[in-house]
Amino acid sequence: MKTQTSHTIVIAMQGMIKALTILDTFPGSCRKMPSAYHALHASLEDMVDELSDRQELTH
């Protein structure tokens, strides 16, 4: 069950990363707080990497 939950979290985070990437393509969408936007994007990618690594260790 724990592996299923972390896999679901990884999929959700990957979806958020894709959404942020798409939003970044619209002019002016992330210009008001670019540092916060990029920090969120980077931390999501880090969390996905960490959770993916943990999943590989449990299999």
Alpha-carbon distance 3 to 9, whole Å?
10
pLDDT of the residue at 30: 56
Six-digit token pair at 11?
A: 């999929």
Alpha-carbon distance 4 to 12, whole Å?
12
pTM: 0.56
Alpha-carbon distance 58 to 35, whole Å?
35
Q: Tell me which amino acid residue 29 is.
A: S
- The string of pLDDT tens digits covering residues 30-42 is 566 677 777 888 8
- The string of pLDDT tens digits covering residues 7-50 is 788 888 888 888 877 777 776 655 666 777 778 888 888 888 88
